[in-house]
Amino acid sequence: MLEVDSLDAFYGDSHILQGLGFAVAAGARVAVLGRNGAGKTTLIKSLMNAGPRVAGAIRFDGQPLEKTPAFRRSRLGLSLVPEDRRIFPHLTVEENIAAAMKAVGAPGGQDAIERCFARFPMLGPLRKRFGNQLSGGQQQMLAVARGLAAAPKLLLLDEPTEGLAPIIVDQMARALNAFLDDDGAALLLSEQNLRFARKCARHVYVLDSGRFVFQGDWRAFDANPEIKSRYLAV
């Protein structure tokens, strides 16, 4: 579904991503791990055409995306939950979800909104609360719910668990997995939280200085403990 070849990304003169190649099949769940500054956010933004200057090939459902602006990528079925969340401060929780659905023409109306609240029970009591009245953790939960409400084919999640308590991390993993199981959507997750990544992804890439230094399943990851000590801050 998503195929990436020789992807380079630049901020001005800084060459950040160095010839990345990978693919995410329909329904696959992939984690990109790497320490601060490894290039995780740059990768996710490059896929969405949301910041860095990009060279190389990105195809989605066989279609080249090079010239496709971010809003059109959303309509093709890519949904980005950015590192900085971007919750609308003057809309309620429910309106934030509705707005995300409307922006991409997602089907389902009120039923789909109720499904979101059913999957993310911690958001139910907050549904009439404004975005700027939510805690950081509540905003993160809403951002993930909103990303899924767009009914994507591929959800791009950039470090959704940063700063969350372990019990909330587990709630988020449950809600996310239930949604992905139901919809058959694929996941590309950038993370430093191994516990969450293990719960949600089946295939792992490790990024370091803009290059992949490992790819495999969790069994291969665990069989190479030096990957963890060398490239991840754990």
Ligand X SMILES: Nc1ncnc2c1ncn2[C@@H]1O[C@H](COP(=O)(O)OP(=O)(O)OP(=O)(O)O)[C@@H](O)[C@H]1O
- Burial readout 121-156 (b: 16 or more C-beta within 10 A, e: otherwise): ebbeebeeebbeebeebbbbbbbbbbbbbbbbbbbb
Contact 96, 142 (CB under 8 A): yes
At 81, list the tokens: 């939950």
Kindly identify the residues of this chain, within the stretch 33-62, that bind ligand X according to CB under 6 A: 34, 36-42
Out of 41, 139, 192, 193, the only residue in the binding site for Mg ion (CB under 5 A) is 41
Q: Pick the stretch among 76-84, 87-95, 171-179, 201-209 that binds Mg ion (CB under 5 A).
A: 76-84
Kindly identify the residues of this chain, within the stretch 6-35, that bind ligand X according to CB under 6 A: 11, 14, 16, 34
Q: Minimum distance from CB of 192 to ligand X (Å)?
A: 6
Which one, 31 or 116, has the nearer CB to ligand X? 31
At 75, list the tokens: 């309509």
Kindly identify the residues of this chain, within the stretch 21-40, that bind Mg ion according to CB under 5 A: 40
The single residue listed with the structure tokens 């991840």 is 232
Beta strand segments in 26-178, E: 29-33, 53-60, 63-64, 78-81, 154-158
Kindly identify the residues of this chain, within the stretch 129-188, that bind ligand X according to CB under 6 A: 159
Which residues make up the interface to ligand X (CB under 6 A)?
A: 11, 14, 16, 34, 36-42, 83, 159
